[in-house]
Structure 1
Amino acid sequence: MSRMGRTAGWILSLMLVFGLAAGCADGGNDAERSPEHAEAAGPAGSGSDAGDAAGGEEGEGTLNAGELVYDGEDIKVNQVGYLPDAPKVAVLEGEAEAERFQVVDAETQAVVFEGEVGRAEIDANSGERVRHLDFSSLREEGEYAVVVPGAGASRKFRIARNVYYAPFFDALRSYTLGRAGLAIDDPITGLKHEAGHLQDAEARLDIDHPHAPAGTPVDVSGGWYDAGDYGKYVTPGAVTAAQLLLAYELYPEKFTAGQLKFPDGFASDVPGLPDALAEVKVELDWLLKMQRPDGAVYHKVSGLAWPGMIRPEDDTQPRYVFGMTTYGTGMFAGAMALAARVYEPFDAEYAGRLLEAAERAWRFLEAHPEPIVLKSERQDNGSGGYDKNGDQDDRFWAAAELLKTTGDARYAAYIGEKLSHQLQREPVIIGWGSTLALGQFAYATAEAGDPAVKASLRQKLVKAADDIVGRIERDGYRYALSPNEYTWASAKNGMAKAELLLLAHELEPKEAYVHGALDQLHYTLGRNALGTTYLTGSGTEMPDYPHSRMITGTGTYIPGLLVGGPNKFGGDPELDKMLERESPPPAKAYLDSPGSWATNEYAIDYNAPLVFVLTYFAEP
């Protein structure tokens, strides 16, 4: 179905099923707003080489077209597709005892490949009996489906070198469609609305600060809406910007000017600036407005009540600048220091401004060595909390990025004297709940870093990647999450493990890391127990009803949004009822419903590791 056709059907269905006019009234609308659940406690997972199919061979003949229904009920594939030279594995579920499978041309039903069905095993996270169908040696580009006697056919998929460019484009461009304070008339998606939250230009301080009392107006206009709500938050904003900038820093050839086909009025005025950097600059400019004169950084911007599922311009309630934290200040400093390196070739003056902001934030942290959280009783009444215990990993990340950007040895000395315990920690996936791995990678690749420390951190990141590879090899769907990691933002967490694999690959290239990262992408794009992609607009079966005020309010289906995914811990009334009624296994604890913000909400930081991974694999 075309996107416009999908939008029309989606609007009608949404009118029938949606009844949460007040949105997330309990304040829990983001998958990572509970750090103890959101950030997985250390990498566990694995990737592997699939190699050529055992017993695989070129097939002959044509199947009866009338017998094939590409429903994918029992055969799960990456519905977007596979790279020609990479491993290609489908997963057969159920009790079918066929010994061989076929791959057919999706249009002609001609058999192009035959192979042996792998041995059966029980996948603990889904409760399914699964067998692998390896067709890695099929490399010819085209559109195909996998067929197993007694189990039907898979969804259609492509084999092509550019197969991941469309989701890469959609996921990266989703930030453009989530800009705050701008009217939009997008010819690609049909998204159209007036400028929303113009009151952010005079948002009021919620509490007293050293430089100004409560009620003082502050211009915090611009930036990106965070998720399914219209709040704007420093912590996910900084971590998101950093991951997108790191993708550019590592793979600059993947980004060009004109790439994102900006709507009228959205393009950058910096000559030659790649669109991705122009887009991230929107968030950086907002983050700069969130810095106090003394270097500390406010926490978030929102209203005092959750808005209904309305258009952005219809949320006219007063907006406030809430709180201040040292962990947010650390994340701000890390992101700004990284950004200064990236923008310097394009706009040296702007890069200098970014670095000055990072150093000012760092001076505040040096002067205040203990964690600080300023928060009022009312500040979470209409927005996510983004609460976190401690700030040491964020201070470490900030110091490591400043070391890498400036080459100033005093940052390495500070880490050695004040943050040495961070050097001993094992990497965990990147997110606003933990920026440790960002700091580890920055230090490990900093020219001015201590050689022994750099070697140790490289070893830790490689060991973490090896652990992820081992976990993937033990999973029936080749996914890196353990049962307790199917929580808020599980889909994001899987992609964050893929991101760690690719970072380790930069330090110590291994084919297993690349293939393991692809396995996580295959899962996200349909090779999972539910047979759905978790990315809007990608694949055949996808999230039709995300929890999003922008989508519901405007009646426009927006592609490129990674939703939270299965969550066995619950967190919204619809999911909680389903868990109580059905007791699904972890990998099936998901609802494609606008009322399930615990499984079906998008957030900017969910897309960040996905964009990072897609950057590596995407070809125009």
Structure 2
Amino acid sequence: MNKQQIGDIAPSTIETAVPAAMEEIVKPVEPSGIQPQIGEMVKVDQIGYGTEESKLAIIEGDHPDGKPFELIEKNSGATVFTGRLSAPLADAASLKTVRRADFTSFQKVGEYRIFVEGAGSSYTFAIAASPYDKPLETLLRSYTLQRSGVAIDDPVTGLKLKAGHLQDKMAEIFFEDGISHKGETIDVSGGWYDAGDYGKYIPPAAVTVAQLLLAYDLNPTAFSAGQLMFPEGLKEADESLPDLLSEVRYELEWMLRMQRKDGAVYHKVSGAAWTGFVTPDTDTQTRYVYGMSTYGTAQFAGATALAARIYKPFDKAFSNRLLAAAEKAQSYLSLNEAAAFRQDPMQDNGSGGYGKQTDAEERMWALAELLRTTNDTNYRDQLTKEFGYLLEQSPQAVNWANTQLLGQWAYYSADKAEQQWQNNIRQAVTGRAKVLVARAEADGYLNTLNMDEYTWASVKSGAANGTLLLIANLMEPDEGYTAMALEQLHHVFGRSATGFSYVTGIGSRYPMEPHHRINAATGITIPGLVVGGPNRYGGDPDLDAVKEKLAPAMAYLDVRGSYSSNEYAIDYNAPVVLLASFFAGK
């Protein structure tokens, strides 16, 4: 993989090659005279819908106003509900005309499909009280199968791997700065492989850990011990620990190893060259510890301070280690006020860059989490003095390059927060939520993304918008926020313009050739991997060859080489886990 570096930073910062006129884009050809194939024109969440939740299917193509649709029971073939299609909507992102089929009032548990004459049938889906429980387990379990440094013999998927990258116990420092010494070896073993490659990076690790722990914090009933059916030898000794926390601890232990004695945190661990599609144990090249950054150190501080709070009821000693590491990182930041990102020659020859030259959002998040965990008002006072403007600023959805929303939520939830700032945060977050709801209402598929946002990791971005809506609802309860958050989850699981569920092994049509080395090398589909999704800007040879002919929401390829649209990453899964957990366990 030649990982995109600007990735999911705001599209305005990306140089694009967008067609000069929309007429140049090839519109999808709709069948004529024959019934379309299943799922071709009738799009549904391929998992299903909650009994008491909104239930909408998207019907593509040109149909008369008020045309009927049928809800058909899978086993009997009987029509159990009929309705009429909505007025047409021109969806700019897909260049399709769509209508909605609303069957919200039907609440009988079972398996069904939607049928429309001339558009055909949807894939089968469930109506259930809590349809996301099993998908949540699958999404979480994928992290276990991404572990570095352990042998895996998984009875569920059949995946068998020898322990990979054992050389991380003796990884070499790549640079010299008087404190770190080039060629010195340190133990940075463990953790999760970041994506389809075998690099391990602090920024996506920190935002992933934070969102997974936030999912637990907001709905602990969705997580339990025994939930993930760990392969033998991979479960924490404490059988009472919820499996989510057991899995996240494996990543946190690696993160702790990445902190050096002065509190700064190294940037990443990888080889000096990209590997082919090989298993982890056969990549025997020397592994190096590259770079440092103030933004990564601040993210480390935020994630470990949050984790200290979550783990305290289960393991006080581990909680204390985490808090000490967070405070040590914060001490380094206080002594080094200028933003810094170390970039050495050849640093990115075999791994993603994840470069960022600013760090304000991350410093704000670190201080907010430390305030919430310790109740030390010195953190509060420093935060409001230096970064108060960020507390009241409209947030982006959480991503590896921007953790502002995590900081706003941490401050808002802190016992020692000041009401004036809480009010300002609420206005900023709910104001952004209203914008997202309006966008989704105008979109044919109820997506929150605008046309320019179908870029690298668009599926993750849409899901992260959904989590922003959930946080807005916690600040100012509004059923419209939670309802639109759920619509973003429907998109992830198949109610999409392409007709794909963007999660391996989940749904009826999902990625079969993700850009993922373990999958490619073993032939085993690891279920629960969220891929990047439509990316109108491309970035790999396969997608670059066809992107000009595809509408933004259609710019996706299920081919191994399309790392700009079909690669998995740990931080892609994180907001989907958070969303699914909110609607699970009910």
Q: How does 1:187-586 map to 2 (within 5 A)?
A: 187-580=155-548, 583-586=549-552
Instruction: Name the SS of the counterpart of 1:284 in structure 2.
Output: helix
Instruction: Name the SS of the counterpart of 1:92 in structure 2.
Output: strand
Instruction: Name the SS of the counterpart of 2:564 in structure 1.
Output: helix
* Alignment correspondent of 1:89: 56
* Alignment correspondent of 1:71: 38
* Alignment correspondent of 1:147: 115
CA shift at 1:211, angstroms?
2.5
Instruction: Name the SS of the counterpart of 1:90 in structure 2.
Output: strand
CA shift at 1:463, angstroms?
1.4
What CA distance in whole angstroms lies between the structure 1 residues aligned with 2:572 and 2:166? 26
Instruction: Name the SS of the counterpart of 1:257 in structure 2.
Output: coil
What CA distance in whole angstroms lies between the structure 2 residues aligned with 1:34 and 1:268? 34
Q: How does 1:148-187 map to 2 (within 5 A)?
A: 148-187=116-155
What CA distance in whole angstroms lies between the structure 2 residues aligned with 1:532 and 1:547? 16
Kept after mapping to 2: 8 A contact 1:270/1:347: no
Kept after mapping to 2: 8 A contact 1:34/1:387: no
What CA distance in whole angstroms lies between the structure 2 residues aligned with 1:39 and 1:190? 43
What CA distance in whole angstroms lies between the structure 2 residues aligned with 1:209 and 1:282? 29
Change (3 A) 1:70 1:86: farther
Equivalent residue in structure 1 for 2:9, among 35, 38, 43: 35
What CA distance in whole angstroms lies between the structure 2 residues aligned with 1:412 and 1:331? 17
| Matched pairs, number | 566
Equivalent residue in structure 2 for 1:606, among 542, 547, 572: 572
Change (3 A) 1:406 1:388: same
Instruction: Name the SS of the counterpart of 2:546 in structure 1.
Output: helix
Kept after mapping to 2: 8 A contact 1:33/1:384: no
What CA distance in whole angstroms lies between the structure 2 residues aligned with 1:569 and 1:168? 30
What CA distance in whole angstroms lies between the structure 2 residues aligned with 1:158 and 1:560? 18
Kept after mapping to 2: 8 A contact 1:38/1:488: no
What CA distance in whole angstroms lies between the structure 2 residues aligned with 1:199 and 1:177? 19
CA shift at 1:178, angstroms?
0.3
What CA distance in whole angstroms lies between the structure 2 residues aligned with 1:155 and 1:604? 28
What CA distance in whole angstroms lies between the structure 1 residues aligned with 2:239 and 2:378? 35
What CA distance in whole angstroms lies between the structure 2 residues aligned with 1:192 and 1:614? 28
CA shift at 1:140, angstroms?
0.1
Structure 1, residues 176-229: CA drift from partner, whole Å, max 9, x if none? 000000000000011111000000000000001433310000100000000000
Kept after mapping to 1: 8 A contact 2:7/2:457: no
Instruction: Name the SS of the counterpart of 1:464 in structure 2.
Output: helix
Change (3 A) 1:68 1:188: farther
Instruction: Name the SS of the counterpart of 2:495 in structure 1.
Output: coil
Equivalent residue in structure 2 for 1:128, among 96, 102, 115: 96
Kept after mapping to 2: 8 A contact 1:326/1:373: yes
Instruction: Name the SS of the counterpart of 1:150 in structure 2.
Output: coil
CA shift at 1:372, angstroms?
1.4
Which blocks of at least 5 consecutive residues in structure 1 are unaligned? Answer: 1-23, 41-66
What CA distance in whole angstroms lies between the structure 2 residues aligned with 1:387 and 1:37? 16
1:609 alignment partner AA? P
What CA distance in whole angstroms lies between the structure 1 residues aligned with 2:407 and 2:555? 33
CA shift at 1:490, angstroms?
0.2
CA shift at 1:389, angstroms?
2.4
Kept after mapping to 2: 8 A contact 1:441/1:458: no
Instruction: Name the SS of the counterpart of 2:214 in structure 1.
Output: helix
1:85 alignment partner AA? E
Kept after mapping to 2: 8 A contact 1:35/1:388: no
CA shift at 1:270, angstroms?
2.7
Moved over 6 A (4+): 67-70
Structure 1, residues 285-314: CA drift from partner, whole Å, max 9, x if none? 000000010000000000000011000001
What CA distance in whole angstroms lies between the structure 2 residues aligned with 1:559 and 1:532? 14
Q: Which deviates the most, 137-146 or 262-271?
A: 262-271
Change (3 A) 1:157 1:307: same
1:405 alignment partner AA? T
Kept after mapping to 2: 8 A contact 1:302/1:320: yes
2:299 alignment partner AA? M
Instruction: Name the SS of the counterpart of 1:467 in structure 2.
Output: helix
* Alignment correspondent of 1:103: 71
Bigger relative contact order, structure 1 or 2 (CA pairs below 8 A, ≥6 apart):
1
**What TM-score, normalized to structure 2?**
0.94
Kept after mapping to 1: 8 A contact 2:36/2:119: no
What CA distance in whole angstroms lies between the structure 2 residues aligned with 1:341 and 1:162? 29
Kept after mapping to 1: 8 A contact 2:195/2:567: yes
Which blocks of at least 5 consecutive residues in structure 2 are unaligned? Answer: 15-33
What CA distance in whole angstroms lies between the structure 2 residues aligned with 1:38 and 1:282? 36
CA shift at 1:70, angstroms?
6.6
What CA distance in whole angstroms lies between the structure 2 residues aligned with 1:350 and 1:228? 30
Instruction: Name the SS of the counterpart of 1:504 in structure 2.
Output: helix
What CA distance in whole angstroms lies between the structure 2 residues aligned with 1:208 and 1:543? 43
What CA distance in whole angstroms lies between the structure 2 residues aligned with 1:505 and 1:489? 25
1:597 alignment partner AA? Y
CA shift at 1:29, angstroms?
5.3
Instruction: Name the SS of the counterpart of 1:417 in structure 2.
Output: helix
Instruction: Name the SS of the counterpart of 1:119 in structure 2.
Output: coil
What CA distance in whole angstroms lies between the structure 2 residues aligned with 1:37 and 1:193? 38
What CA distance in whole angstroms lies between the structure 1 residues aligned with 2:309 and 2:422? 20
Instruction: Name the SS of the counterpart of 2:466 in structure 1.
Output: helix
CA RMSD of aligned residues (A): 1.6
Kept after mapping to 2: 8 A contact 1:227/1:602: yes
2:293 alignment partner AA? T
Q: Which deviates the most, 547-556 or 147-156?
A: 147-156
CA shift at 1:99, angstroms?
1.6
**What TM-score, normalized to structure 1?**
0.89
